[in-house]
Chains A and B, each alone.
Chain A
């Protein structure tokens, strides 16, 4: 079975603070992909990153960084020096090779609010 857990329902921070969004996943497959999507107030889901199960290197993109740890089945997302524009709902998702092509399993999302 595939499952994604985002335990943090809501997070509020003040601008310039760092914030980490947690994501824990479950799958029995050895080949899988992990994703993060951002849903700003406009509603669309915006792709942020994809990570495959064979690549545990952490990734940094500007103020965003991702920490993938297979040992703990986690794929956490950190925003450094948060800004008001980072306010959105963030979803972590999993797709495994054993599941139907393209079928993603999402977590419940974390609502991030960044106050000025």
Chain B
């Protein structure tokens, strides 16, 4: 089966510009997550969708970040306007919904990430 696909693989923009990252999860996976890794730091949670609904967006840094998942399929993450500190690798992951609502044991399948460089 196809894995998690992310586009673009690398984006270089100037401060103040807008960038939109896209993630196509594994078909049939209702859970979709966005994570970010700033150089040398931990990979940090940004938000979690279950189908088209935002389950948890407590990791979003600020209101310059907007994530959508229309129709419960692919998702986009828009950064507007981008700042220097937004540079990093943005990972998308997907998983199936677990039985009895607990997905704790479920394995997340990650994409290759979208590297964002803000100059």
Contacts and interface: CB of A to CB of B under 8 A. Distances in A.
Interface of A: 4, 9, 31-33, 35, 37, 42-47, 50, 52, 91, 93, 95-97, 100-109
B98 to A, nearest CB: 8
B104 A101 contact: yes
Contacts of A106: 35, 42-44
Contacts of A52: 105
Closest 3 CB pairs of A and B: A45-B110, A43-B112, A106-B43
Interface in B84-119: 89, 91, 93, 95, 98, 101-113
Contact of B31 (A33, A96, A101, A105): A101
Contacts of B31: 101-102
Contacts of B8: none
Given A91-B43, A108-B40, 11 more contacts: A4-B42, A44-B112, A45-B43, A45-B91, A93-B43, A95-B104, A97-B104, A101-B102, A102-B103, A102-B108, A105-B42
A106 B35 CA distance: 10
B45 A104 contact: yes
Question: Chain B interface: which size bin?
Answer: 35 or more
Given A44-B113, A101-B31, A106-B42, A33 B105 contact: yes
A28 to B, nearest CB: 15
B111 A102 contact: no
A35 B4 CA distance: 19
Nearest to A93: B43
Contacts of B35: 104, 106
A103 B56 contact: yes
Interface hub of B3, B58, B106 (most chain A Cβ within 10 A): B106
8 contacts: A45-B93, A91-B43, A97-B102, A102-B104, A103-B33, A105-B45, A107-B42, A108-B40
Contact of A103 (B40, B45, B50, B111): B45
B108 A104 contact: yes
